[in-house]
Amino acid sequence: MTYQIPVIDLEAATGADAPQDLLEAVRAATEEIGIVQVINHGVPQDLTDDFGRRIGRLLSLPRPRKAELASPTGHPYRGWRQWPDDFGRLELERFNVGQFDNAADARAAGLPEEYLGLYAHANVWPADDPGLREVTHRYIAAARGVAERILGLYARAQRLPSGTFPVSPLPHLTLTVNDYPTWTYPDSDRDEDKLLLLEHADGSAVTILAQDGDYQGLQIQLPDGDWLPVPIVPGALQVFSGTLLTRWSNGLLRPARHRVVAGGTVTRRSTAVFYYPGLAEVLEPLPPFAEPGEETGFEPVTTWDLVKDSVENYLKVFGRPEQVTAWREGRPYVAELAENSAGR
Q: Report the pLDDT value the prediction gives residue 278, as an integer from 0 to 100.
A: 97
**What is the spatial distance between Cα 316 and Cα 332, in angstroms, rounded to a whole number?**
18
Overall average pLDDT of the 258-276 stretch: 89
Please give the average per-residue pLDDT across 332-342, as a whole number: 90
Residue pair 273/238 in contact by the 8 Å Cβ criterion: no
Average pLDDT over residues 41-58: 97
Q: What is the spatial distance between Cα 191 and Cα 199, in angstroms, rounded to a whole number?
A: 12
List, for residues 203-218, the tens digit of each pLDDT value. Answer: 999 999 999 887 889 9
Q: What is the DSSP string of 12-73?
A: HHTSTT--HHHHHHHHHHHHHTSEEEEES----HHHHHHHHHHHHHHHTS-HHHHHTTB-TT
Q: Measuring CA to CA, which residue among 235, 189, 259 is closest to residue 47?
A: 235
Residue 146: per-residue pLDDT: 98
Amino acid 190: pLDDT: 62
pLDDT tens for each residue of 268-293: 899 999 999 999 999 999 999 998 87
Interhelix angle 20-32/131-157, nearest 10 degrees: 100
Give per-residue pLDDT as tens, 113-166: 999 999 999 999 999 999 999 999 999 999 999 999 999 999 999 999 989 999
> For residue 227, what pLDDT is reported?
95
What are the residue boundaries of the structural domains of the chain, listed by start? 8-329
Tell me if the pTM is above 0.75. Answer: yes
- Residue ranges of alpha helices (H) inside 124-163 are 131-157
Instruction: For domain 8-329, give the CATH superfamily.
Output: B-lactam Antibiotic, Isopenicillin N Synthase; Chain (2.60.120.330)
Please give the pLDDT value at position 302.
97
pLDDT at residue 265, as a whole number: 73
The rounded mean pLDDT for the chain is: 94
Per-residue model confidence as pLDDT tens digits over 84-101: 988 899 999 999 999 999
- According to the model, what pLDDT value does residue 54 have? 98
Q: Is the pLDDT of residue 191 over 70?
A: no
What's the whole-number mean pLDDT along residues 229-234?
93
Q: How confident is the model at residue 33 (pLDDT cuts 50, 70, 90)?
A: very high
User: What local confidence, expressed as pLDDT, does residue 189 receive?
Assistant: 61
Task: Please give the Cα distance from 107 to 110 (Å, whole number).
Answer: 5
pLDDT band at 243 (very low <50, low <70, confident <90, very high): very high
- What is the predicted pLDDT for the residue at 162? 86
Q: Is the pLDDT of residue 343 over 80?
A: no
